[in-house]
Amino acid sequence: MSLLLKVKTLTADHQIDLSRRRVLLALSGGMDSVVLAAAFHQLGVRFGIAHCNFQLRGDESDGDEALAKQLATKYDVPFFTVRFDTTAYIAERKVSVQVAARDLRYQWLHEVREAHGFHYLATAHHLNDNIETVLHNFIKGTGIKGLRGMLPKNGRLIRPLLEVSREEIAAFCRENNLTYREDSSNASTKYTRNKIRHHILPLITEINPGFEKGFGERLKIFSDLEDIYEQRFRKVAKQLFLKRGSDIYIPILKLKQLKERRSLLFDFLQPYGFNATQVDDMLGALDSDSGRQFLSDQTRVVKDRRFLIVTKLARSATGPFYIDSAHDMVKLDGFSLQCTVSEAAAVTIEKDKAHAYLDLDKLLFPLLLRPWRQGDYFYPYGMKLKKKKVSKYFKDQKMAIHQKEAIWILESDQRIVWIVGERIDERFKVSDKTQNVLHIHQIKDA
């Protein structure tokens, strides 16, 4: 099957309409994207060319840009280009060259696509790229999604060459006498993908000469299996991964009843930065005491009595903080407190835990804001001055460990005024004798 026929077959199979839709082609200047531009031209596709100059290889980068512009002129198609200060982006974001280039590239390409009315964004990823992607995912550790590789169509992003091999692309390039640029960084083996390309794949092909062709067929099978698995995952997820505010609660009893619990839990937690070993540790701790925690860079899983709770890492701010006046505002991790004062007659009290209405004249400023401590006690509103330990209040409210850790205490003259977001103290409530009301509103970050 010719390269052009493979492109037509793949796009038809995946309902990619190249006959009526305009396509923005990301063209680097390398052989793959140069071939895709020629294929689009021969197939009569209405396309434009977009080129990113990352300014990482000096004159070589400028030469790539010049070729992209020449091809746009040759094919008489719109041309778009941008120059990125990639080095500055890497320093600012503290990311690798590959991550920086990918982030910058796709953000700009999608902006151009939308601004200029292109329906699709096309990249020149081919079969060998997909094989390398699957091997890379497998080596790094992946779920079933990683084994199916890249998709020919992902929203508005299309990859028309995904079933075409590098050898077929090179043959098309020779037959059509196409000029392209060679990226010198492709020869470097300091990148994992290049190690796979230059060292691992040749060894595999030596062992199995038909590996490349056969792998392309297996990718289709992996994709079908992933669809079947995804249907099962979606069905189970409704009952297993319960959204509560910004947290996810996973019922331990239901998890233990699932034969495929390891795969389901790993697939769910992998985007949060957890690996297979950590998932095994979590499953091993299902019958242990509450309180055990498992951490990734930004997320943690807390073992509670009946749930595994997926939540953000514990706050970094420890306080204390001060509210210096009745018109102050304090910003903390995850929320802020906004203070306003009104005459009692003008106040309508909202029955909402995010709002505290306090008798201003009973408060002594500055108010102190701090994390709760063991031994804290207060007089809960509505309990007629009955003293209660804060820890006992938490227990009565059936608070999980991570919820208790997020609690802040508001104090006036060493007396608890408000368990923020929970309950005020009876001693500071608004009564019929109150003249001025301090309203404190807890505003959670979006």
**What's the pLDDT tens digit per position in 303-319?**
998 999 999 886 656 77
- Condensed to tens digits (0 to 9), the pLDDT of residues 382-419 reads 998 999 999 999 999 999 888 888 899 999 999 999 99
Q: Judge if 150 and 17 occupy the same domain.
A: yes
Average pLDDT, the chain: 91
The mean per-residue pLDDT over the stretch 319-332 comes to 87
Tell me which of 312, 339, 366 is where a domain ends. Answer: 312
Burial of 188 (0-12, 13-18, 19+ CB in 10 A): exposed
Same domain, 204 and 261: no
Q: For residues 120 and 124, what is the distance between their CA atoms, to the nearest angstrom?
A: 13
**51, 80 contact by CB (below 8 A):** yes
Report the Cα–Cα distance between both ends of the chain, in Å, rounded. 53
Average pLDDT over residues 118-137: 93
Same domain, yes or no: 200 and 95 = yes
Question: Cα 198 vs. chain centroid, distance in angstroms?
Answer: 31
User: Are 433 and 385 found together in one domain?
Assistant: yes
In the chain, the number of structural domains is: 3
**Same domain assignment for residues 146 and 21:** yes
Q: Among residues 162, 193, 221, which one ends one of the domains?
A: 221
Which CATH number characterizes residue 65's domain?
Answer: 3.40.50.620
Q: Predicted confidence band at 354 (pLDDT cuts at 50, 70, 90)?
A: very high
Q: What is the CATH number of the domain that holds 348?
A: 3.50.40.10
Q: What pLDDT, on the 0 to 100 scale, is given for residue 58?
A: 87
| Residue 106 and residue 130 share a domain | yes
Residues 379, 329 share a domain: yes
Q: How do residues 205-255 score in pLDDT, each as one tens digit?
A: 899 988 887 887 787 788 788 888 888 888 999 999 999 988 999 999 999
- Mean pLDDT value of segment 326-348: 90
In a domain, 235, yes or no: no
344 and 299 inside one domain? no
| Phi, psi angle pair for 97, to nearest 5° | -60, -45
Burial (CB count <10 Å: 0-12, 13-18, 19+), residue 345: exposed
CA torsion sign for 311, 312, 313, 315 is negative
Q: What are phi and psi of 167, to 5 degrees?
A: -65, -40
Q: In Å, what is the CA distance from 315 to each residue of 51, 376, 391?
A: 43, 20, 19
Out of 312, 334, 367, a domain closes at: 312
